[in-house]
Amino acid sequence: MGGISSGRHPHYGGKLKQIGIKFPIFTNWFILAKQICHYKEISFSEWVRLLVKKEVERFRYTKMWPCKCTDSRGKIQYNFKRSHYCNICGQYQNDMYKHLYNKTNYK
pLDDT digits (tens, 9 = 90+) for 48-90: 888 888 888 888 888 888 888 888 888 888 888 888 999 888 8
Q: What is the mean pLDDT of residues 26-33?
A: 72
Evaluate the CA torsion angle 24, 26, 31, 32 in order and state its sign.
negative
Does the structure show a pLDDT above 80 at 10? no
Burial class (CB in 10 A: 0-12, 13-18, 19+), 21: exposed
Q: Mention every residue, 6+ apart, whose C-beta is less than 8 A from residue 24.
A: 30
Please report the pLDDT score of residue 78 as a whole number: 86
Please report the pLDDT score of residue 16 as a whole number: 47
pTM of the model: 0.47
Does the structure show a pLDDT above 60 at 9? no
